[in-house]
Chain A
Amino acid sequence: MIFNEIYSMLAYYLPPKANLIASALATFVLILIVLIATPIILGWVDRKFSARIQSRYGPIYVGKFGLLQNFADVIKLMGKNFVTNQYVDRFSYNLIPILSSALSFLLIALLPFGAPSLTFISLPYNLLFIYILLAFSPLLIIIASWGENNKFAVLGGFRSAAQITTYELALIVTFISIGIVNGSYDIINVIGSQSLIWNIIYLPLTAVVFFIGSIAVIERAPFDLPESSQELQAGWRIEYSGLKYGLFMIGDYVKLLAVSILFVSLFLGGWSGAFLPGIIWFWIKTVVALMFLMSLRWSLGRPRIDQLLSIGWKWLLPLSVINLIIVEVMMLI
């Protein structure tokens, strides 16, 4: 854990009790930096990449190459008034942005950042806990949309909850397959057992199912129908304004980073590779996975909600179950 690393680094300079406090503070500052830097850097990459795909310049005025553009946007969001409908249910309306973004921050804290000792929290059952955090969102969405007291928000919220519930079933079956092949539910052990052959060569079908399922669970295009502004009235975030909306956006970007780190750790071998130190391999693979995930949003259209759900139930879930059976048979041989 990062806490242990900092503790052992500072043990040379400070007495034990002060060392505890100092390294706790340092870990806290470090995770804050990671959480703030993620939407800013990922937002910049998203905007510039999408701009070049569309043959135009992206942000170019704020900072060199527009690097500070998202910084300026977050400051602008923080300065907005909270315009609220007077009939909302105050408790659930105000609770959900905090809870939802806290869940995504917890998700990042569980994942390794390039080496076995670089996690903020280390648990022996990483994978299952991550699944619980990802799967908790439908409940929060339903509470939020009900609390907003707006019939279009309720419609959008129910659709979003239905979509996430459908696709997370395929995801748990995928995690079970990985647990069977690699023998443990700890991400660090999974990466360790891929040092010879990456999982994607053993389990290509699992990789595809995981990829599609995870994009649907984090509600990123092409599965972002509940929040699209083309169809029915902008979805369940319609009554949020200012920083509350910003917290949802930050949560989205953080979940995007978490899903790409997860994909790299489970299927692409994590930090194993030749010639270069592991941490550089890890970040190269994560960047490639991120760019691929981002480019899907800008090149594909959206299916309709009933087509989305029918893909989930009729194709993805049976595919993942068949995949599990194949894996079991492979392990017996």
Chain B
Amino acid sequence: MEGRGIELNIGPVHPATHGVLKLVADIEGDTVKNAKVEIGFLHRGKEKIAELRYFNSYFPIVDKLDYVGALNWEILWASTVEKAMNLEINDRVKYIRAVMAEIQRIMSHLVYIGSFGQDLGNLTFFIWALRERELLMDIVEEISGGRLAPMYNRVGGVFYDFTDGIADKINTALSKIEEKVKKEYRAMTYENSLFIMRSKGIGIMGQKVIKENGVTGPNMRASGIKRDLRKDEPYLVYDKVDFEIITENDSDVYARFMVRVREILESIKIIRQLLKDMPKGDAKISAPWIMKVPAGYTLVRHEMSKGEGAMFLVTDGGLKPYRLKIRSPSFYSLQALPLVLEGCKVADAFVITASMDPVMGEVDR
């Protein structure tokens, strides 16, 4: 029977989280027939700005790409310019950068699981997840001076060395988070019958969709594909640390949630090993402030908290870049979203969008 469907705008101004994303959905009855994703509301022209700034003063702009996990992008930009200049950094700097990257991964996943719980109606859980993130924010502020935009890395090193006693504070905060994830979050989310009812069996993203659209990161690992850039092409000091790649086999919304919860526990393990083995030494920056980079092409890929991020830098021997291209992982997750939303119920559309973890700062650049 042909009925006239409704066209629903799940518009750019959405209650809390996910930023400015617009979904235009064709609804018939209670199911979504097809959906279109519209992005670009937060476009700030970051790739063009890169042609107008010195290499060291582009850091504040890179901070604001993925505002939930900023240090990961700073480390990527610093690594790109160092590779273009053939600059070697010493071991202590590598360990410090790895610790900060893993701290940022935990913070980004905490925001994800908090906002996901809120989309299912559980407001308390959102505030609890942000309360745990505050413990790590305090540590980031103590080390670097800024909370959401740390501005900690420079080309050639980091700006402040670790202060005395920071290792103990990090360990205390991590133990608190681990205890909360294993007890309270388990009762509220991943073994809670209401949560399981709402999230198992919906939003299935098969391996074919993933391979055709270039989806990487936890979304990909929830479908059984075992790839992680930290293990396959190790950068910084990840080859000296012992950890595993987390995968799940169901590829539904529940699996994507579980991958990220277990990644928090893995990151805690990594940070503890790194803090124990950190070498003593100087964390000096070994590069000038405003530098000339030799001409050429450079590509560096790192594992961000949402997937595989890359920067492609073209330089011409001057003081500023010639062209910069940023590959952000959430952009590709959103391209796969309309294929996953076909045939789901309207109330599930919000849940599936939330489970893909889009951060519009890095989608729109």
Contact = CB atoms under 8 A, between A and B. Distances in A.
A210 B131 CA distance: 36
Contacts of A299: 122, 124, 188
A53 B188 CA distance: 13
Contact of B197 (A56, A228, A229, A303): A303
A305 interface: yes
B347 A53 contact: no
Interface in B202-226: none
Interface of B is mostly: helix
A305 B194 contact: no
B77 to A, nearest CB: 36
Contacts, number: 58
Nearest to B126: A54
Interface stretch (B52-60, B113-121, B304-312): B113-121
A301 B346 contact: no
A221 interface: yes
Interface residues of A, dominant DSSP? loop
A86 interface: no
Contacts of A231: 346-347, 350
B15 interface: yes
A54 B117 CA distance: 14
B117 A301 contact: yes
Contacts of B346: 231-232
A306 B15 CA distance: 23
Interface residues of A, number: 23
B21 to A, nearest CB: 15
B131 A301 contact: no
Contact of B15 (A53, A56, A229, A302): A229
Interface string B338-357: 00000001111010000000
B120 A302 contact: yes
Given A54-B128, A55-B128, A302 B194 contact: yes
Given A231-B346, A301-B120, 10 more contacts: A54-B127, A55-B128, A56-B127, A230-B350, A232-B346, A300-B194, A301-B117, A304-B345, A304-B347, A306-B345
Interface of B: 6, 15, 30, 117, 119-124, 127-128, 131, 188, 192, 194-195, 197-198, 345-348, 350
- CB-CB nearest 3 A-B residue pairs: A302-B121, A301-B120, A301-B122
